[in-house]
Amino acid sequence: MKNSRTEKGDILLVGIGNSGRRDDGLGWKFTGLVNHSGLKMFDCEFRYQLQVEDVLLVCRYDKVVFIDASHSELKEGFELQPCIAAHHYFFSSHMQSPETILYLAKELYNKTPEAYTLAIAGYNWGLGNTLSKEAELNLQKAISFFEKEFIFENSD
């Protein structure tokens, strides 16, 4: 479903990672699967890392989900959490956290999109373009959850 005022989808998905570093590509893989699903409510972007330029992008949406691989062991293999704006700007403008992007959106443009982070547990960070078997399983769990819980909740 497109927003008639902007011709954009209702929700922005930002896949973060590097598909050339095995499980670090989980954010891109998840976002790519949603992108190819045909659901018009989502606009999808792919980033190696978040930068200050992404602030203006997230300001165009009411809801944003940042998806990234996690080095942490997660109980379900993934974790969806609210993302709260926080001021911890990194010296280099080449790497910012989702929380910092939201903080800058509020400070610079007075925009506060509803935001979430979706972390998917990864295990292998070496060179290569395939996911580990464990990460693939976690990806499927995250996709199933997202389809049942998040998409259903936002489809009205």
Model pLDDT for residues 62-112, shown as the tens digit of each residue: 999 999 999 999 999 999 999 998 876 555 555 789 999 999 999 999 999
- Cα torsion for 123, 53, 65, 18, to the nearest 10°? -20
**Residue tagged 């403008």 (tokens):** 93
**Residue 7 pLDDT more than 70?**
no
Averaged over 130-145, what is the pLDDT?
96
**Residue 126 pLDDT more than 70?**
yes
**Residue tagged 């009205």 (tokens):** 156
CA 7 to chain CA mean position, Å: 21
CATH number at residue 34: 3.40.50.1450
Do residues 46 and 28 touch, judged by C-beta distance below 8 A? yes
Residue type, 70: S
**Parent domain of 83:** 2-153
Nearest residue to 129 via CA among 9, 23, 1: 23
Do residues 120 and 30 touch, judged by C-beta distance below 8 A? yes
- CA–CA separation, 37 vs 63, rounded Å? 19
Domain total of the chain: 1
